[in-house]
Amino acid sequence: MSNIKYSIIIPTYNRTQNLLCVLLALAKQRFDYNKFEVIISDDGSNVDNPSSIRKYSDILNLYAV
């Protein structure tokens, strides 16, 4: 059974800097990381978001679709 209680869904399109700011803010939260997941929905950006967000995948329950 999953302990995840909240899902944070972030839609994005060519906004890497904004996305990184949001992920940094989530990583700084004192809330238990095992209680929420972060789902990033990229609508075909021209930038390489997966490599930009990789460093947060060790900290957050992060899924990129």
Query: How is the chain split into domains, by residue range?
Result: 6-64
Task: State the pLDDT at residue 51.
Answer: 79
Check: pTM over 0.75? Answer yes or no.
yes
Instruction: Please report the pLDDT score of residue 46 as a whole number.
Output: 85
* The predicted structure's pLDDT at residue 23: 95
Q: Which residues of the chain have pLDDT under 70?
A: 1
Torsion of CA 25, 62, 13, 47, to 10 degrees: 100
Q: Is 23 left (phi over 0), alpha (psi -120 to 50) or beta?
A: alpha
Q: Is 11 exposed, middle or buried (0-12, 13-18, 19+ CB in 10 A)?
A: exposed
